[in-house]
Amino acid sequence: MDSHAHPAPNLRIGDLAPNFSARSTAGEISLADYRGKWLMLFSHPADFTPVCTSEFVAIAEAEDRFTQMNCQLVALSVDSLFSHFAWIRAIRDRFGVEVRFPIVEDPTLVIGNAYGMVSNDAADSATMRTTFFIDPDGYVRATSSYPATVGRSVDEMIRTLCALQAVDANGSLAPANWQPGKEMLLPAQPTLDDVLSGKNPSDWFYSTGNKT
């Protein structure tokens, strides 16, 4: 396993995602391999755990939806490659679902530390249930973190990805509870002419626009 980045415990939205190369269930992969497409990098505390198993079943069942949005899924945990293989087999035999996206091994927490998923002195991976939405240029555009006891919502992962892509496509803003096909918001126009010319007093800072 090789990390090309120094630990970044304060990795923020807008930062360049640290590159790494590591073994995975799909062979040796590098983050740079996915430039040109969206990447969903998500971690889980451990294989063979209830919540993580439920997540991987749900995410694997939705993989085609991510693919249609030009998004690659890559998972990460501290468990070994052989543990990943055994877990994937157990998932297939129990649920009839094949996990085909790469699961990266990170037994020394090198990648987890580089992404700020765990502190440099962490003894285990208990905090590693984090999702990074990385754009085609390699920049972190959104993140989400959950405790080990609460699973992610696949629908919210897809909604967030759709919103990021829609914002990039037309320059609009995604309002609360936005869903694809719904109206988006226009950026505020903080000039005196816009403030005085609007039909409604709030038009300069709250107007709907494109649908995506």
29 pairs with which residues across the strands?
22
**Residues 122-147: tens digit of each pLDDT:** 455 555 689 999 999 999 999 998 88
Position 9 scores a pLDDT of 53
Top pLDDT among 141 and 171 is at 141
Position 204 scores a pLDDT of 84
Please report which confidence band the pLDDT of residue 211 belongs to, taking 50, 70 and 90 as the band edges. low
Average pLDDT over residues 11-27: 95
User: Burial letters for 177-195: b for 16+ Cβ neighbours within 10 Å, e otherwise?
Assistant: ebeeeeebbbeeeeeeeee
User: Which CATH number does 2-152 carry?
Assistant: 3.40.30.10
Q: pTM of the full predicted structure?
A: 0.88
Position 189 scores a pLDDT of 86
CA-based R_g, the chain, Å: 19
| Domain limits, the chain | 2-152, 171-212
Q: If you average pLDDT over every residue of the chain, what do you get?
A: 89
**Residues with catalytic function:** 52
Residue 93, pLDDT > 70, answer: yes
